[in-house]
Structure formats: C-alpha cells, structure tokens
Amino acid sequence: MKLLSHIPARTNPEFRPFPDEALEQSIPERFDEVVRVQGRRLALQWPDGRHTYASLDAAANRLARMLSARNIDAAVPVAVLFSHGGEALVTILAVLKAGRFYVVRPSCYGMRRDRKSAPGRSARLP
C-alpha cells in the first residue's frame, strides 16, 4: 500500500516524501539516514534548549551506550520518567537505539508512585 501518496505535500512545504521501503526501517535506522542528510539543521527547540539532528543523535547515542552497558534483560521495560522537553526525545530515541522498549511515566507521578501503581511489575530507569 502506498501510504505516502495519500499525504498531501501542500500541508507542509518542508515535507519530503521518502520511498515506501523506508516504512520497513526501524526508527533508529530511519533517524540515522536523516542525520546523514540533515545533521546541521535544527531538529527541535524547547524553552530550555535546542538540538540539531547531529547533536540529538550524539546525545541519544551516549545514553543508549550507557543503557546497553547495564546488561539488563531486554524483556524488562525501561521506565522513562521526564517532563516535556528535548530531553524526553533524547531518552526515547536512546531506548530505541539500545533495542529496548519503554514505559512512560510523567514526572508528576514519580518512581515511588509508579511502583505502587504497578505492583509485581519491574522497570528500570535509564
């Protein structure tokens, strides 16, 4: 199914279609391609900072290496506890680059409440 042909390009002048085969790539694989082409461009900006695609990739890679070094069972989700902002995207991308999956908890819940709300469940912080 040609999904991209159904997205009207006029909704965003910056939109660049990519081949349907790219839909079969993982998010980290696709992101690596974007970094190679758009590395110096601004990827995101929030009140406390900004990242180009290259700096976002570098930050996510550092965190992914730290996460991988912990040798935690891949069946255990990574608990992602954060507020909104660029750090959230760095963390999510890092977890995916490490080949893991995550459970998001808003920072207002805190880890203590998370453990109470999900007894018997285990999750690790990155």
Tell me if 5 is assigned to some domain. Answer: no
Which pair of structure tokens corresponds to residue 27?
Answer: 């998010």
The rounded distance, in Å, linking the Cα atoms of 57 and 14 is 21
Task: Flag whether pLDDT at 63 surpasses 90.
Answer: yes
| Contact residues for 8 (Cβ-Cβ < 8 A; gap 6+) | none
Tell me if 12 is assigned to some domain. Answer: no
User: Using one digit for the tens of pLDDT, what is the confidence trace for 80-103?
Assistant: 887 778 888 999 999 999 999 998
Task: Give the count of alpha carbons within 13 A of 95, CB side only.
Answer: 22
Which residue segment(s) compose the domain that 104 sits in? 25-117
Tell me if 124 is assigned to some domain. Answer: no
Q: By the 8 A CB rule, do 60 and 114 touch?
A: no
* Alpha-carbon dihedral sign for residues 23, 35, 84, 126: positive
**Could you give the percent of the chain with pLDDT greater than 90?**
41
Query: 89: domain CATH number?
Result: 3.40.50.980
Tell me if the pTM is above 0.85: no
